[in-house]
Amino acid sequence: MDQLRPFIGGNWKMNLHLDQARDLARALIENLQQLHHADVVICPAFPYLAQVGVIIAESTIRLGAQDFYHQSNGAFTGEVSLSMLADVGADVVLVGHSERRHVLGESDATVNEKVLAALDADFDVILCVGETGEQRAQNHTEKIICGQLLRGLANVSPEQLSHVTIAYEPVWAIGTGNTATPNDAQNAHQLLRHTLKDQIAQGNAAPAVRIQYGGSVKPDNAVELIACEDVDGFLVGGASLNVDDFSQIVKATVS
């Protein structure tokens, strides 16, 4: 298959305060302005989406949200809707991040509701899947990630798949400094791509769905990971908070 255009996400999680978020956004624009061969999205915390959105509005960096509620409005105290995110310039959302699944208790059913709502609202979705260390030790990786993929994408049409990116994020690798080997990442990505083609696209020509790897990606492992045939980019947590590290990771995907 032809090489897909790399897609790199920076998940800032519940980090950075306003000045830091603004400075990081400005510095990224400066560092990545000549870079035309990759797509980049940054996902600040909710309170700073609008201000960061203004800073990156004229750049090629896209604004993403780390979460949202699938209903469009109403009595859902504390929640944020997709149309509110669109108002501040976001057009990408993360869904099913492992911290939302394992810390906040989101089920596959919730993940699927969010995926469908986001696609319906014309957002691009980054759907995260990944096995825990325990599931991996029990050789359940394939079952877990394919199950999360299929349940997360239930009732998504083959056409809508072009607005979906999958992030394979082994839970044991997130924020731990333990990265999947290129071989493990490639095997998981290849499996996910075949599953997408066979079961979601149902034999039709599957649109080119990009599959990001996430889990302790750093400048010094990005080069060997992106060299894997089915790794089309990264979802980056810790290293996305540092302008040099994140810029180097983005540049590694196009060199």
Residue nearest to ligand PEP (CB): 237
Residue 62 or 197 having the CB closest to ligand PEP: 62
Q: Which residue out of 131, 163, 169, 189 is catalytically annotated?
A: 169
Please report how close the Cβ of residue 152 comes to ligand PEP at its closest, in angstroms. Answer: 16
Please, are residues 77 and 22 in contact by the beta-carbon 8 Å criterion?
no
Active site residue 229: no
Residue 44 or 197 having the CB closest to ligand PEP: 44
Please, are residues 149 and 165 in contact by the beta-carbon 8 Å criterion?
no
Please report how close the Cβ of residue 45 comes to ligand PEP at its closest, in angstroms. Answer: 13
Please report how close the Cβ of residue 247 comes to ligand PEP at its closest, in angstroms. Answer: 15
> What element of type H or E holds 243?
helix 243-252
Contacting residues toward ligand PEP, per CB under 6 A: 11, 13, 169, 174-175, 214-217, 235-239
Active site residue 159: no
Please, are residues 225 and 217 in contact by the beta-carbon 8 Å criterion?
yes
Secondary structure, 3-state, 132-194: CHHHHHCCCHHHHHHHHHHHHCCCCCCHHHHHEEEEECCHHHCCCCCCCCHHHHHHHHHHHHH
- In our burial notation (b when 16+ CB lie closer than 10 A, e otherwise), range 155-187 reads ebebebbebbbbbbbbbbbbeeeebbebebbbb
Please, are residues 65 and 84 in contact by the beta-carbon 8 Å criterion?
no
Residue 209 or 236 having the CB closest to ligand PEP: 236
Residue 101 or 163 having the CB closest to ligand PEP: 101
Please report how close the Cβ of residue 172 comes to ligand PEP at its closest, in angstroms. Answer: 10
Q: What residues are labeled active site? A: 97, 169
